[in-house]
Structure 1
């Protein structure tokens, strides 16, 4: 009898598991789902996405599925059903629908890091997003760069490159991250790397390592450690906010002071939101700028003609000055035509973000298919950057291609800083910072690659053990 009971239990378990797997592979939909596969239960196809690819091209996970299913397909990542789109027309449509048919979204890996506990307030398109964009533009927008930041950026880069030239070699990804982070943290929150008790650069480096891991919150995993160090970072930022709030004599008129003033006046703001806003803003600077800086060295080493024209442009700026030692001006920055082409081409190849995430608020029809409400939508903007339809020989580093590209084509097919309502408020700052770095680098320094980086996508661009560079000052 017990054998019969045991066999019956096993049979029921098999039937139940078969039912769950069937449900997993065939999600409910009030129409026809796009083609694709949901992968394994719970895990989905996440592990395939995390396998590194040693190329600047689209990650094979995306490329192979685009070839198999077309520009729109379904999958499952980190336990969530995901619609992936590399269709320019649909992507532009989605970006214009934020707040109506879609909302801003993170996968679980990011949500616990960049969203405050107790609510998804960063999803609100209204006053909060308008406020966040406004405050960043106030302190890092074009007017602020023109009036004071450009000179300060140049001074900071000069200081760091001088220090790098006194070292045997520098791992430029980590050093560049810390250089950009410390500059922005000083201007946002008054952080002083030389006197601080906590190393903000090291904290952000450890958080980043956890973000590119599988979101398994179990002691000993990279993601669990990431959450712990993130808590340490937000605790540190919260303490700085409270100290400044209670000590009016320490006011500097910076980002932190403005957010404190607004916190006392605006009901929609909370301390938690302000802390997460600061953390997220600094993280964006920490990762994106350093990735492009590191890729500069690899690309320029392989393309001496680009370096020659870049150097000529900046040396011409110096020759046209009355005082060659004077600081970089806004007009000079805006005249760097070839430099901007180099930056655009590097951004196009770097694709520091694997795409833009949104969540469907309602069922969305698209080309005969239906995206169910609640699904995550991944807009693969790198697919626009890495197609020969727009960019001939798309894996070739060719800054000169930007001379002949129509502005309308660029606006629809080049989105390194996102698009729509969520376009990055730091776009102009990033370009100014990168332009200034190149200006100081090619006019004052020589460099030699001691150890090249093994570039990979995981799917975020990574540099293996790093690019180790030896710097030396140019002799007059």
Structure 2
């Protein structure tokens, strides 16, 4: 881990130096009567990158907000940034003035996902693709996945049984991958699933590595795995077209789509968006589910309440010899509030990156064109003004709806996560089987957070699971 950090540090040191010497050194605020937000730009060349990554990133953000307020500037990862920590500011950037702020990602990451992926774009192409993805992940579509997700959850949990120590986060990632495959492809031949899984995991491992495309490095391996994924997806697409299958899964929606002028999506565009959805769905959902396991473990009274709710559902289904239904997943009030509170507490997406496409004025401050803009979701979710005693895990707080724009676990606006309902369904089904059939204990230290890049309990929450007797 230390070696990776050094690679990342020296890469961004070099990048920062290049940007520093190439950029216009004049203060952009001097071109207008507006002033830049308060804050520190840190050291020459490297800005405040070391301060951010040498500690819990949340400590960095919170300390800045306490010192400078809800809008402040900094310089990290080679980029001047404006950070925003209020609901109004998040709405300004993501909703009301979203056209002034474009999504921005490092080119190295864009290469691995694919440049045509939905979340790299704005405008007509983005709207067309978003409509397709939303349609395939709508409530009407995912309600047909309940039985398949339930089978995947039951199979995953059965594999944990026996009391051996497992890495909960890694196992949750396997489950999320299975659900992602179901949502994208529907039923898929097993050899395709295994090939997709093998190469996707190589890509995933290299995604946050030092981005040097040298054979044998994690990033170099990821680039090659991405090429193989294109080949596998091309085979699946060809087979679907030959059989003229018209399923309503994501691949079917992408294949059958025609633009206003009759244009169809290319295979590369389809592949990029499939990989993009897989990537967006896996680590984030797996992280939240891992936190749910921990939060329930740490709150025995709450766990008993969730167990009672889910065992009542299970009893009805056993007596009538039926499986979990869509309507039942809509009537789990205690469990649903646990999911919402887990999303708030964990705040897996702590912030998002945008880039100003023009000089923008906000509350008397200048946000210069080209600067990165970061709405800080975690700061908002943990603000005591909006959530009383924010460090306490308390699902009952969601008995009343949060104030507008204070709860954004899936983002907001045109770039909000289109798979949020699928993610919540996945969590509800997993919790149903977990608490109604299993008991578990966390092994070793029960505190601490690691970032890779999403926050998960330390060491992926090592735990033992046992199936409870039904007698």
TM-score per shorter chain, which class?
Answer: 0.7 to 0.9
**What is the aligned-residue RMSD (CA, Å)?**
3.2
Aligned-partner Cα distance in 1 for 2:191–2:158: 20
Using the TM superposition, give the Cα deviation of residue 337 of structure 1 relative to its aligned residue in structure 2, in angstroms.
0.7
What secondary structure does 1:472 align onto? strand
Structure 1 gaps of 5+ residues are 1-16
Using the TM superposition, give the Cα deviation of residue 206 of structure 1 relative to its aligned residue in structure 2, in angstroms.
4.3
What secondary structure does 1:388 align onto? coil
Does residue 432 in structure 1 map to residue 432 in structure 2?
no
Partner residue of 2:145? Answer: 149
Partner residue of 2:358? Answer: 362
Partner residue of 1:257? Answer: 252
Does residue 91 in structure 1 map to residue 90 in structure 2?
yes
Using the TM superposition, give the Cα deviation of residue 21 of structure 1 relative to its aligned residue in structure 2, in angstroms.
6.3
TM-score norm. by structure 2 comes to 0.84
Aligned-partner Cα distance in 1 for 2:137–2:224: 30
Asked which structure has the greater CA Rg, the reply is: 1
Partner residue of 1:59? Answer: 58
1:20-419 matches, cutoff 5 A: 27-29=27-29, 30-31=31-32, 32-40=35-43, 43-51=46-54, 53=56, 59-97=58-96, 100-108=99-107, 110-116=109-115, 122-126=120-124, 128-146=125-143, 148-165=144-161, 168-189=164-185, 194-196=190-192, 198-213=194-209, 223=219, 225-245=221-241, 247-248=242-243, 254-262=249-257, 266-267=262-263, 269-320=265-316, 323=319, 325-403=321-399, 405=400, 407=401, 409=403, 411-419=404-412
Kept in 1: contact 2:162–2:467 (CA 8 A): no
Kept in 2: contact 1:42–1:78 (CA 8 A): no
Aligned-partner Cα distance in 2 for 1:235–1:49: 39
Q: Which of 279-288 and 81-90 deviates more? A: 81-90
Does residue 420 in structure 1 map to residue 419 in structure 2?
no
Aligned-partner Cα distance in 2 for 1:26–1:226: 40
Aligned-partner Cα distance in 2 for 1:437–1:378: 32
Distance 1:121 1:298, change over 3 A: closer
Distance 1:77 1:120, change over 3 A: farther
Choose from 460, 463, 470 the match for 1:469: 463
